[in-house]
Amino acid sequence: MSIPKEPRQIMINLMYLVLTAMLALNVSSEILHAFETINQSITASNRSIEDKNNKLYQSLDAQQAQTGQEARVKPFNDKAHQAKAASEAVIKFLDDWKNKIIEESGGREENGEIKRKDNIDASTLLLVEQKHGDEIRQKLTELREMLVGLVNPGSRDQIRKDLPIRVENPEKSDNNPQADWSTGYFHNMPTMAVVTLLAKFQNDVRNSEAIVVNQLVKEAGDVQVKFDEIQAIAVPKNSYVLAGQKVEASIMLAAYNKAVNPSVTSSSGHITKVENGLAEWETSAAGVGMQTVKGNVTLDMGGRVETRPYEFTYMVGSEGASMQLDKMNVFYIGVPNPITISAAGYSIEDVSVAIPGATITPKEKGHYEVMVSKPGNIIAEIVAKTKDAGTKTVGKQEIRVKRIPDPVARVGSVSGGGILSSIFKAQLGVLAALDNFDFDARFVVTSFDFSVVPKRGEMIGPFPVKGARFDGSKSVTDAIARLRPGDKVYIEEIKARGPDGTTRSLNTIGLTLR
């Protein structure tokens, strides 16, 4: 035997000589008992992972069975069941090889115990000399590539890094100069050690299956239309016009999706285009006074058709001044409120607006942003320059001033109910979201209390947290790491600060882990 130069290889060779000497001294029973203990632990772990995987499959089956969800969920559910079938086939293949090696080594006792746990000839004959170890390697390699191919192409590199199934050649040695995979894993290995190694491969298969199915569950959720209740609305771009001017409006479903275009009808005017989830409507203004437009919006929600009526009004005037609130029919405290003003018979450069107690910032011609600070009602005056260099009030409008509505506290996309344990553990903290609010207003979560009620055991917490993130408290991160399906999580006393400087108390979040 040549003396290797690398210290690591010298140590490997010395350990091999020591093991050989221990076997010769008849102390191998302790080593074999250790392998047997490890095998029992891996086998129990495999059963646990299999149970968790089955729950994921049941969850996907239940989602697919829901009304209107089959078209969305079925492609991912089909892939998940492909992963299951392929994994089960490899698990059975490895089980068959366990039994073949045990039979070749001398079989089992009446109580099921392996007779010759220390036999080193069976694995060498079957898996090395007869080359069946190459079949095991090929099965693991093919399964790995098949599982990676099931997920979205953009996620494959990360999944490939995460999968526990890895088929790598051992390093060259005097006993394995060709670095042959089968020789490195199975040559002169005791039967008990080979059975344990095959159980470890099965564990890699189960964990890889779980990673891929969890990714498919996530991908199925990413393509879901993210609303349960819909409301047809119509927003005119200008609600006060002069005779002969064009009138335009945007018609949509609240919480709309750009990938789904609605079908729209109207009582007057005509639809010019339907694109990116929005229908554009226009007409030429005729008749002085309030005009009303009605119609229906119809949307295919992936198997079920929803229709909602809409109605909006606009004013046609002959002369005078107007102010249009570009986003809402009120002013909100803490955000810039855009307005557009005009006055018939006056150049737009000669028209301005005055609002007591408000800060007004000019933008483009006729456009302003208004900042207000107190709730209530205010009077906005539209002022125009006269020919004699004076000014006159050409219009007034009373406007309500409100505080920004309270946001909804969420973890991810949910504020209550059930959530997959893996998805919950991936969240960073608590969000404060303003639903269906036209302004770019953001609330920041400043504190909350976190507690857990385990499926079995006493309540843990509550733990106070400053800020929005779970990692703001080690107690919280430790509790999250121990969460299991069936546990309940409560996030209470949530505080959030808004752009108006006020701190709001938000809803409690109660979640049950699945």
Contact 489, 511 (CB under 8 A): yes
Q: What percent of the chain has pLDDT over 70?
A: 83
State how far Cα 207 lies from the chain centre.
Answer: 21
- Whether the pLDDT of residue 375 is over 70: the answer is yes
Same domain, 314 and 328: no
1 located within any domain: no
Contact 253, 218 (CB under 8 A): no
Same domain, 434 and 390: no
Reported confidence tier of residue 274, pLDDT bands at 50, 70, 90:
confident
Residue with tokens 């000589």: 17
Tell me the DSSP string of 34-99. HHHHHHHHHHHHHHHHHHHHHHHHHHHHHHHHSTTTHHHHHHHHHHHHHHHHHHHHHHHHHHHHHH
Tell me the DSSP string of 467-512. SSBGGG-HHHHHHHHT--TT-EEEEEEEEEE-TTS-EEE---EEEE
Return mean pLDDT, the chain. Answer: 81
Same domain, 203 and 312: no
499 located within any domain: yes
Same domain, 208 and 352: no
> So what's the pLDDT on residue 303?
46
190 located within any domain: yes
Closest CA to 512 of 432, 429, 430, 453: 453
Which of 111-120, 130-139, 223-232, 316-325 holds the top average pLDDT? Answer: 130-139
> So what's the pLDDT on residue 509?
93
Range of the domain at 75: 7-222
Closest CA to 235 of 440, 499, 436: 436
Reported confidence tier of residue 242, pLDDT bands at 50, 70, 90:
very low
- Whether the pLDDT of residue 496 is over 90: the answer is yes
Length of the chain as a residue count: 514
Closest CA to 61 of 206, 217, 208: 217
- Whether the pLDDT of residue 38 is over 70: the answer is yes
State the amino acid at position 199 in one-letter form: A
pLDDT, tens digit (0-9, with 9 covering 90-100), for 453-478? 998 888 898 999 999 999 989 999 99
- Whether the pLDDT of residue 185 is over 50: the answer is yes
2 located within any domain: no
Query: What is the CATH classification number for the domain harbouring 255?
Result: 2.60.40.10
17 located within any domain: yes
Q: Distance (Å, rounded) from C-alpha 76 to C-alpha 213?
A: 9
Same domain, 382 and 427: no
Same domain, 48 and 182: yes
Return the DSSP state at 423: H
Contact 202, 190 (CB under 8 A): no
Same domain, 298 and 383: no
Lowest mean pLDDT among 249-263, 468-482, 483-497: 249-263
Contact 417, 511 (CB under 8 A): yes
Contact 239, 316 (CB under 8 A): no
How many domains does the chain fold into? 4
> So what's the pLDDT on residue 234?
64
Q: Distance (Å, rounded) from C-alpha 3 to C-alpha 439?
A: 75
Reported confidence tier of residue 93, pLDDT bands at 50, 70, 90:
very high
143 located within any domain: yes
Reported confidence tier of residue 256, pLDDT bands at 50, 70, 90:
low
- Whether the pLDDT of residue 5 is over 60: the answer is no
Same domain, 349 and 271: no
Domain boundary among 298, 318, 338: 318
Domain boundary among 191, 222, 253: 222
- Whether the pLDDT of residue 9 is over 60: the answer is no
- Whether the pLDDT of residue 3 is over 50: the answer is no
Cα dist from 214 to 65, 134, 152, 202, 226, whole Å: 19, 30, 12, 18, 20
Return the biggest CA–CA distance within the chain: 119
Q: Classify residue 388 by burial, with Cβ atoms within 10 Å: 0-12, 13-18, 19+.
A: exposed
Q: Distance (Å, rounded) from C-alpha 242 to C-alpha 327?
A: 21
> So what's the pLDDT on residue 1?
41
Same domain, 131 and 210: yes
- 338 HSE (CA, 13 A, CB side): 11
Q: Where are the alpha helices (DSSP H) in 168-278?
A: 181-186, 191-222
Domain boundary among 206, 222, 238: 222
- Whether the pLDDT of residue 21 is over 70: the answer is no
Measured at the CA of 481, the angle between CA 480 and CA 482, to 5 degrees, comes to: 90
pLDDT, tens digit (0-9, with 9 covering 90-100), for 393-406? 888 888 889 888 89
pTM: 0.43
Q: Distance (Å, rounded) from C-alpha 244 to C-alpha 467?
A: 55
b or e along 273-286 (b: 16 or more beta carbons within 10 Å of the residue's beta carbon)? eeeeebbbbebebe
User: What is the H or E stretch that residue 384 is in?
Assistant: strand 376-385
Reported confidence tier of residue 19, pLDDT bands at 50, 70, 90:
very low
Contact 341, 320 (CB under 8 A): no
pLDDT, tens digit (0-9, with 9 covering 90-100), for 288-298? 456 788 999 88
Task: Give the 3-state secondary structure percentages of the chain, helix then strand then coil, rounded to 5.
Answer: 35, 30, 35
Q: Distance (Å, rounded) from C-alpha 117 to C-alpha 33?
A: 9
pLDDT, tens digit (0-9, with 9 covering 90-100), for 159-179? 888 888 888 888 888 777 788
205 located within any domain: yes
By DSSP bridging, strand 246-253 and strand 278-284 are antiparallel
Reported confidence tier of residue 16, pLDDT bands at 50, 70, 90:
very low
Query: What is the CATH classification number for the domain harbouring 331?
Result: 2.60.40.60
Same domain, 294 and 358: no
